Amino acid sequence: MTIRERIEQQEEQTLSKYATLAKNTKGRATYQKPCDIRTEFQRDRDRILHCKAFKRLRYKTQVFLSPDSDHYLTRLVHTLEVAQIARTIARGLRINEDLTEAIALGHDLGHTPFGHAGERVLNEICPHKFHHAENSVRVVTVLEKEGKGLNLTAETLDGIRNHSFGHAQTLEGRLVKIADKVAYINHDIEDAIRAGVLTKEDLPQDCIEVLGDTKSKRITTIATSILEYTKEDIAMAPEVLQAHNKLRKFMFEHVYLAVPAKQAEEAKAVQVVEQMYHYYLTHEKELPEFYRQIAQKEDLHRAVCDYISGMSDHYIVERYLDLFVPHSWKGLKQ
């Protein structure tokens, strides 16, 4: 018996009847011989962890653009927090931790530079439209490994595709969806307080009384409630769900959509993305060879959208300065 077979046997013996067993995967688009050491979901996790798009998350914004402090949230930190929260709950529910982690690590691979500001502008100007969840699937199926993709299992792809909207087919995928919201709301509260946008006293007190007055307490309250109430589907106590939803609504109204300084920075980010997009539409030969091939196979808009969306915040700003700012001006502040 191989190590993989022994792990699969352990899953069958110890996991919940609602868990997704690795040996029952629907498989990959292209068949690959099973690994002797890792299950199929473990292989998915490792492929995501080692791909280029995952590394770029380090320099992609979550909410606050170009933060001065090292402690503001990036896409990479957010992704790791989602994976940690989801895995903790998955272990308690006795569902598949490896599948949960693979989905969590891959869920934001398709996010744009400048967070949701970049996503909105690409959705407006690209005729194919744009959503980061669908683009995350495109990253792992089409763009990674120079067009070969990561060849992930159907279950991991389904969880990535449905982490924002939609309904994942597996309990693991549906768990990641709620863990994503729990992670970003509670870390964004910390960032908003750090930025002076909010104070602790501004938070709706009825929510704080139910969930807790710190990030750790709120996450623990929600995780505990999910563990107590989940049966066939992810659930939590009605009062906890109500407080969580109200706190999320509060963040949209008072942080995500309502901070003048944040909106001003996002307007600059939108301008950068728009100008870069239109530049490459009229300068196709300046696209890297891989994206010129996409333009030939599909169309130019798709190629430009793929290229822009894959850029980190740092890289798109560097390219913008190279293309639109005279080099002698860039050093004036030094």
Question: Could you tell me which residues come within 8 angstroms of residue 248 by beta carbon, excluding any fewer than 6 positions away?
Answer: 181, 185
What's the CA dihedral at 112, 135, 226, 16 to 10 degrees?
A: -140
- On whether the CB atoms of residues 226 and 234 are closer than 8 A, the answer is yes
Short-list 39, 43, 37, CA closest to 22: 39
Phi, psi of 95 (to 5 degrees): -110, 180
Share of the chain above pLDDT 90, in %: 84
**Tens-place pLDDT, residues 277-286:** 999 999 999 9
- On whether the CB atoms of residues 62 and 72 are closer than 8 A, the answer is yes
d(CA 210, CA 120): 34
Mean local confidence (pLDDT), 303-327: 94
Short-list 160, 159, 164, 180, CA closest to 73: 180
State yes or no: pLDDT of 334 exceeds 80: no
Cα-only R_g, the chain: 21
Mean local confidence (pLDDT), 209-217: 97
What's the CA dihedral at 184, 128, 286, 280 to 10 degrees?
A: -80
d(CA 160, CA 162): 6
What local confidence, expressed as pLDDT, does residue 260 receive? 62
What local confidence, expressed as pLDDT, does residue 197 receive? 86
Mean local confidence (pLDDT), 259-288: 89
Banded model confidence at residue 262, pLDDT cuts 50, 70, 90? low
Q: What architecture is the 3-259 domain classified under in CATH?
A: Orthogonal Bundle (1.10)
Distance, C-alpha 164 to centroid of its chain: 9
State yes or no: pLDDT of 64 exceeds 80: no
What local confidence, expressed as pLDDT, does residue 264 receive? 77
DSSP 192: H
**Tens-place pLDDT, residues 101-146:** 999 999 999 999 998 899 999 999 999 999 999 999 999 999 999 9
What's this model's pTM, rounded to 2 decimal places? Answer: 0.94
Secondary structure of residue 176 in the 3-state scheme:
helix
State yes or no: pLDDT of 304 exceeds 80: yes
Distance, C-alpha 52 to centroid of its chain: 14
Mean local confidence (pLDDT), 87-113: 98
d(CA 254, CA 250): 6
State yes or no: pLDDT of 70 exceeds 50: no
What local confidence, expressed as pLDDT, does residue 69 receive? 45
User: What is the DSSP track for 132-146?
Assistant: HHHHHHHIIIIIGGG
State yes or no: pLDDT of 329 exceeds 70: no
- Paired tokens of 206: 């009825």
- Paired tokens of 163: 């982490």
Mean pLDDT of the chain: 93
- On whether the CB atoms of residues 94 and 19 are closer than 8 A, the answer is yes
Structural domain boundaries of the chain? 3-259
What local confidence, expressed as pLDDT, does residue 71 receive? 45
d(CA 216, CA 7): 32
What local confidence, expressed as pLDDT, does residue 299 receive? 97
d(CA 315, CA 105): 22
Short-list 291, 22, 53, CA closest to 150: 53
Mean local confidence (pLDDT), 231-253: 96
Phi, psi of 283 (to 5 degrees): -135, 60
What local confidence, expressed as pLDDT, does residue 258 receive? 64
Distance, C-alpha 325 to centroid of its chain: 32
